[in-house]
């Protein structure tokens, strides 16, 4: 059951990365706007948007497959934990009680904490992650 649940966790966190990447590919101007508003413009350069979007799609697919886990899982954690860290005010004050106002809070950002923790669970429970492509390939 642990392996099945880890596969489900990989499938959902990987799918999220794919969805975000596809949205960036389809609407690069939205990606720039989000970067400017929430991430201090760190990834707003036109030369970065598409490579990062396609990289995010590939990362999500590799997470779902469980391939190259030693490298891919930490990369996923960097993306998801880093993304959550960048919006820390919205996570620390989801109701807009002390860091934000009720008008500026973004309650829908709070699930980013769950996704960030999920990426860490995938890393630290890797020994139970038996339904993974790289593990299946090494048994052959």
Domain ranges of the chain: 2-139
The predicted model gives 112-131 an average pLDDT of: 95
- The pTM for the full model equals 0.87
Please indicate whether residue 110 or residue 13 has the higher confidence score (pLDDT): 13
Please indicate whether residue 104 or residue 14 has the higher confidence score (pLDDT): 14
pLDDT higher than 60, residue 40: yes
How far is Cα 56 from Cα 76, in angstroms, rounded to an integer? 9
76 and 59 in contact (C-beta within 8 Å)? yes
pLDDT higher than 70, residue 100: yes
CA distances from 3 to 45, 60, 66, 132 (A): 40, 18, 11, 9
How far is Cα 104 from Cα 73, in angstroms, rounded to an integer? 33
Predicted confidence at residue 8, as pLDDT, reads 97
């Amino acid at each position: 059951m642990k392996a099945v649940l880890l596969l489900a966790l990989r499938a959902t966190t990987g799918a999220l990365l794919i969805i975000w990447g596809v949205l960036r590919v389809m609407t690069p101007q939205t990606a720039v706007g989000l970067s400017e508003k929430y991430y201090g413009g760190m990834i707003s350069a036109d030369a970065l948007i598409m490579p990062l979007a396609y990289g995010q799609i590939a990362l999500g697919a590799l997470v779902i497959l469980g391939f190259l886990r030693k490298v891919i899982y930490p990369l996923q954690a960097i993306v998801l934990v880093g993304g959550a860290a960048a919006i820390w005010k919205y996570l620390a004050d989801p109701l807009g009680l002390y860091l934000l106002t009720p008008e500026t809070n973004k309650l829908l950002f709070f699930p980013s904490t769950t996704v960030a923790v999920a990426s860490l669970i995938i890393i630290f429970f890797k020994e139970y992650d038996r339904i993974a492509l790289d593990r299946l390939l090494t048994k052959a």
